[in-house]
Amino acid sequence: MLKRKIVIFLLLIATTVTSFAWNQGTRSVYLDFRTQVMTMPAMKDYVRKAAASGVNAVIVEWEATFPFEENLTLRNKYAFSRKEVEDFISFCSGVGVEVIPLQNCFGHSEYILRHERYAHLRENKKDFSQVCPMKLQEAELVFGSIFREIAAVHKSDYIHIGCDETRLLGSCPLCREKVSEQGISRLYVDYVSRMCRLVSSLGKVPVIWADILLKYPEAISELPDDLVIVDWNYGWRPDHFGKMENILSSGHRIWGACALRSHPDNLYLVQWRKHLDNIHTYVNYAASNNFDGIINTSWSTSGTYGYIWDDGNVVVDLQPVREVYPISAFALLDDAFTAALNGRLTDVDSFVRQWAGENFGLVEEIDIKAVADYINLKQNTTTFLMTGADRISSETENCRRVLDDFSRLKVRGDASETFRQMQLMLEIRLNYLDFLAVRYVTENGDYSVRDVPELLRSLKRIASDASRLQKRFCRINSHVLKNPYASFNEWTYFGQIHNLTETLENIK
């Protein structure tokens, strides 16, 4: 019933709301460096193209790639130099784009809390995702320093401080006590207000995500007046997290956020049509409600991690639970966003057909249909626990059919990289589905030793194909990512193939 209501809502917006042109306010794209760190030339190229289409801001989630000095502990092996960051900000300013830093200070703080230096801020000893909101003085010292470093480099009026998905809220003994006395909304707002005041003291405007405020709205009125609240909506009804009226009537400035990459996207699954519909409907929704800004977010990972532990609660490394295909492949969705900003995304199907013609140089109906079929391919989430052999077979058959039609296209030369990326994405999905079919047999318990030789033959073919795909992936993204291998390595399904192969080889 809920899914039906959401579909009806989307259809109503798509058919009844006129397209609005965003002639003012913040019009932003997003760069997420939590797991996929772009090269500086690729960053500049991405911003240059966005600026030419009417974008005037880019939010950058630097995380451990920022050139911290006071907090040098936070830097990772992909960190940029201060000169590189300053040069990027100067470049963006030159093309009319404001660089807005995003610096998490509450939830999604794994890259900070993993270090012993900041361990005293943890809400939980085993889950390093969240700062304890009762550690106000300690947090002010740490984030006062971090915010100063961020503010010193960025010219933007804004610092986005995150504060979304605080899933551990109220879980530690100190927090539970406050919640029992004053409520969970007060716990959240008291901490966020302190972080906002740190940002304001630096002459910057604080920005936060809206989801927790929508869920626990009771203390919204206690937040600082200059705060900007960002409602993120990736394809659901407006009141998904809570009643939108609670933030719309709060007196705060509101920005909206749709998504170019989000759940359940990963290396071998992209729900293109969902994102197109989301961009189409939500940009119009935000404009019709007079939001002051709009962001097209783009997430390289789910934002949750697996921990590789050493003794004494020491983290050796963090592994993203979900790795998403690099941003370099999503020109269609970037163009859809800027078309929506300019009031030109009036119908998704027509947009896809026009885009295929203009960007790929296609004129024949059968060729344009091949692109449309690719975009409309469901790409359902499939695991052996959620589905059966018939479902895997159906997904595989649909993928192979669409890939065959798409691969035969002859595109214009300047579109070849986008085409090759999109083709590779679907080939990786097909390779994964082939592996999933084998894994399903080994996991459902209905196989014996005599089945092993045939399964091994299939696995070795799949592994060989995966190896070739991995090399292509690294080659085609070598100019985009500092380390493309990190996005298609042993921690993806590629490693699962190797592990299962080695296990079966030892069965006699």
What is the pLDDT at residue 197? Answer: 98
Show Cβ contacts of residue 153 under 8 Å, excluding neighbours closer than 6 positions: 67, 82, 85, 86, 89, 101
Q: Which of 39-43, 298-302, 382-386 has the lowest mean pLDDT?
A: 382-386
Show Cβ contacts of residue 192 under 8 Å, excluding neighbours closer than 6 positions: 106, 161, 163, 208, 223
Query: What is the number of helices (H) and of strands (E) in the chain?
Result: 17, 10
Burial group, residue 12, by CB count within 10 angstroms (0-12, 13-18, 19+): exposed
Beta bridge partners of 269: 266
Q: Cα dist. 191→32, 186, 224, 429 in Å?
A: 25, 8, 12, 43
Peptide bond into 173 cis (omega under 30): no
Kindly give the residue spans of alpha helices, DSSP state H, lying in 302-451.
331-341, 348-360, 365-376, 389-407, 416-443
pLDDT confidence band for 208 (50 / 70 / 90):
very high
- 62 within 8 A of 101, measured Cβ to Cβ: yes
Average pLDDT on 488-504 reads 94
What is the pLDDT at residue 246? Answer: 96
Q: Can you tell me the distance from the alpha carbon of 476 to that of 419, in angstroms, rounded to the nearest whole number?
A: 11
Show Cβ contacts of residue 108 under 8 Å, excluding neighbours closer than 6 positions: 129, 162, 164, 165, 303
Q: Can you tell me the distance from the alpha carbon of 267 to that of 109, in angstroms, rounded to the nearest whole number?
A: 24
335: which 2 tokens? 């163009």
Q: Cα dist. 389→267, 361, 386, 438 in Å?
A: 22, 39, 11, 10
Q: Cα dist. 503→276, 343, 495, 498, 499 in Å?
A: 42, 55, 12, 9, 6
Q: What are phi and psi of 379, to 5 degrees?
A: 50, 60
The structure's pTM equals 0.94
128: which 2 tokens? 């390093």
Q: Can you tell me the distance from the alpha carbon of 358 to that of 356, in angstroms, rounded to the nearest whole number?
A: 6
> Residue 89 belongs to what H/E stretch?
helix 82-94
Neighbours of 160 (CB within 10 A): 26
pLDDT confidence band for 1 (50 / 70 / 90):
very low
- 81 within 8 A of 160, measured Cβ to Cβ: no
- 238 within 8 A of 291, measured Cβ to Cβ: no
Q: Can you tell me the distance from the alpha carbon of 196 to that of 159, in angstroms, rounded to the nearest whole number?
A: 9
CATH 3.40.50.10490 is the classification of domain 25-341: no
Look over the chain and give the mean of its residue pLDDT values, rounded to a whole number.
93
pLDDT digits (tens, 9 = 90+) for 152-177: 999 999 999 999 999 999 999 999 99
pLDDT confidence band for 103 (50 / 70 / 90):
very high
Q: What are phi and psi of 456, to 5 degrees?
A: -65, -40
**How, if at all, do strands 57-61 and 98-101 pair?**
parallel
pLDDT digits (tens, 9 = 90+) for 328-338: 999 999 999 99
pLDDT confidence band for 19 (50 / 70 / 90):
low
Q: Measured in Å, how far apart are the chain's first and last C-alpha atoms?
A: 50
277: which 2 tokens? 């519909």
Find the angle CA(102)-CA(34)-CA(469) to the nearest 5 degrees: 140
pLDDT confidence band for 384 (50 / 70 / 90):
low
Question: Which of residues 310 and 102 earns the better pLDDT score?
Answer: 102
Q: Where are the domains of the chain?
A: 25-341, 348-505
Average pLDDT on 446-453 reads 90
